[in-house]
Amino acid sequence: MMELIFVTFVALAWQTVRARVSACIRNVRAPRAVPLCGDCFHAHVQYAANGQRAISCTFGGGVRPVTLDVLYCTDYRDRNLPLRSSAIGFVREIAPAE
């Protein structure tokens, strides 16, 4: 009779410990997604040794810290694309001299 109580107590303790360990394993945080600013041409991104990021936006000439994870930005430009060639100032076709 005493062995049965002991075995029941050990089995109950084992199940409790196993449930707590599996709950701790499941509650591990998933890695945060990389914000849109991470691939933007206008972003200055600093990566820390512990995995944190400090992002600043340089659009418009100033440097502004970005304190949230950006999902959509109207000024986004992919840093991996080639630069756009555009004319600056007044462009006028000049006929070649003959």
**pTM for this model (two decimals):** 0.49
pLDDT of residue 57: 92
Query: How many whole angstroms separate alpha carbon 35 and alpha carbon 55?
Result: 10
Give residue-wise pLDDT tens across range 15-30. Answer: 888 887 777 776 666 6
Residues near 65 by beta carbon (within 8 Å), at least 6 away in sequence: 54, 55, 56, 57
- Per DSSP, the chain holds a count of helices (H) and strands (E) of 1, 3
